[in-house]
Chain A
Amino acid sequence: MTVSLHEMGVAALGRALAAREVSSVEVTEHLLARIAGEKLGAFLHVAADTARAQAQAIDARRAAGQALGPLAGVPIAHKDIFVTAGMPSTAGSKMLAGYASPFDATVVARLTAAGVVSLGKLNCDEFAMGSANENSAYGPVRNPWDLSRVPGGSSGGSAAAVAARLLPAATGTDTGGSIRQPASFSGITGIKPTYGVCSRYGLVAFASSLDQAGPLARSAEDCALMLSAMSGFDERDSTSAQRPPQDFHAQLLVRRDGASAAKPLAGLRIGVPDEWMSAVTIASEPGAAQTTGTSMDVTMAIAQALKVFGSLGAEVKRVSLPRTELSIPVYYIIAPAEASSNLSRFDGVKFGHRAAEFTDLAEMYKKTRAEGFGAEVKRRIMIGTYVLSHGYYDAYYLQAQKLRRMIADDFQQCFAQCDVIAGPVAPSVAWKLGAQDNDPVAAYLADIFTLPASLAGLPGMSIPAGFGEGAMPVGLQLIGNYFAEGTLLHAAHAFQQATDFHLRAPGVAR
């Protein structure tokens, strides 16, 4: 074989396994050896023995002539925000150190049923709260492209492991950008589907009206294969979308009406929000204005990528998302409000950490939570508790939910004029570890371009689109209308057939 096993993506591995050019045990051993030497901090738990057993079982089923799907025998790993019965589930928090879940998350169970081999659990920001993976209680993750930089977050371990060719794909979750932004920072492909497409059952809850699961992989095709297995209606999630199972791989390959080999995207209208390609000023009180403009390197990479889409037959046009900057306060009211409610379950009674010393029940709660939660989680619990408290609910939470509808309506106006919205994922490339340690609000501002689609519940993805400052990857964000994952994946696949950004690997991946 001319290509190393770790360079092969999900689709390529699936084909090689099906053709019996390689066994699942061989792939699994090869990746386990690479993971044993990883210095990124991407893994929180390596399940070598159970992975070997899963690989052997798949190889035996294949040898027995059983019909197996495209993911059978392909090794992956899970963001440690999904609970797993056979592996620890920490959510990146001291609160859940040593926690043994009695069940598997639906997404995990579905991937296991599709025959994947689970190599372990991946580092993430505590309770998925963060954009740099620096909020994990188990240490930061490093960006494989530059070990002094962050990989993005909160699915930072997933993104770093896939970028470093430790895994062909990983699961992630996205509440305000936690799949798209680390995919962008780490130079890989990731998709957050429409809210309701993947079950939230067994996903440690952060903000329930925003949380969605999705895959991170090295191509749109690989993401399509993963998403097909992960998604689908689940009666155990009250907001699961009641739709028939989707074959996203077939949707990715479908030929558009009027398309040709040279113009595969003929007729596709791509809208680029004016507000996303220029400086955006966060005007608050006089004298306290902060600017979160898109940096020049990112703007140039995005403009080049849009030219490629034009050359593939797409019509690139201007649209407007006038309330983009409002997405920041709206999200950072709603998400912490839901988080403060969801995280009230961590009280030291039924599971998780309990303080060693206390005099009464109230003190047990307070000390348990003080010891178990990290600084960012405490900040968000405080914000959420305040905005939901008596006398403040209308001014903050209710007003934010009204603005949320206005933001969602803005998207529908755009989708009257275009099929896909395109723009940057983040205003800059990955920053240095520690760069935002003392300024949590600055980190919130950097989420500006991923928050709008999260608030509206729309599908969004990030695809590698070039390189910027420090030779760091730049991701292009594509946003579709509700349940238009197939359109996004199709457009991303066409781009990846015409470019090689998604095939570039960092030095540590060799």
Chain B
Amino acid sequence: MVLTPQDVSRIAHLARLELRADEQAAMLGQLNGFFRIVEQMSVVDTRGVEPLYTPLSAVHAVALRLRDDAVTEVDQRQRNQASAPAVEDGLFLVPKVIE
């Protein structure tokens, strides 16, 4: 499998990354170099093998732990918004989305 420049553009769009032309070209070569070492994965027969999504489930059943649906945080909107790029009246500002 070899990625094309069009593939790189499509992936960059999905990832919401603007890449300069020189970055695109470098990325294409590097991704293709990487996927060459990935090819060895495809020759292993994994039929019947359960995927291991979280490591401890290799040795015992792991149940997803849920907390009580209760408020545990105090209101600290100002601190939470202290590092926001743009806020007004306690709201996050973004460019106009709906005309």
Contact = CB atoms under 8 A, between A and B. Distances in A.
Contacts of B36: 284-285, 288
Contacts of A340: 15
Interface in A271-316: 282-285, 288, 290
B22 to A, nearest CB: 11
B51 A349 contact: no
| Range for the number of chain B residues in contact with chain A | 35 or more
B37 A329 contact: yes
B84 A400 contact: no
A100 B11 contact: no
B67 A235 contact: yes
B30 A441 contact: yes
A381 B82 contact: no
B16 A365 contact: yes
B95 A360 contact: yes
B38 interface: yes
A333 B15 contact: no
Given A238-B65, A364-B95, A385 B14 contact: yes
Contacts of A364: 94-95
Contacts of B34: 332, 383, 440-441, 444
Contact of A370 (B18, B54, B80): B18
B94 A349 contact: yes
Given A209-B55, A409-B58, A333 B97 contact: no
B58 A405 contact: yes
B41 A403 contact: yes
A414 interface: no
| Range for the number of chain A residues in contact with chain B | 35 or more
B31 interface: yes
A102 interface: yes
Interface in A317-347: 325-326, 328-330, 332-333, 340, 344, 347
Interface of A: 98-100, 102, 194-196, 209-210, 235, 238-239, 241-242, 282-285, 288, 290, 325-326, 328-330, 332-333, 340, 344, 347-354, 358-367, 369-370, 373, 375, 378-379, 381-383, 385-386, 389, 395-396, 398-406, 408-409, 412, 440-441, 444-445, 455-458, 482
24 contacts: A102-B80, A235-B67, A239-B56, A239-B62, A284-B40, A326-B40, A361-B94, A364-B95, A366-B18, A378-B19, A382-B11, A382-B17, A385-B11, A385-B15, A386-B31, A389-B14, A395-B42, A400-B41, A402-B50, A405-B49, A408-B58, A412-B59, A440-B30, A440-B34
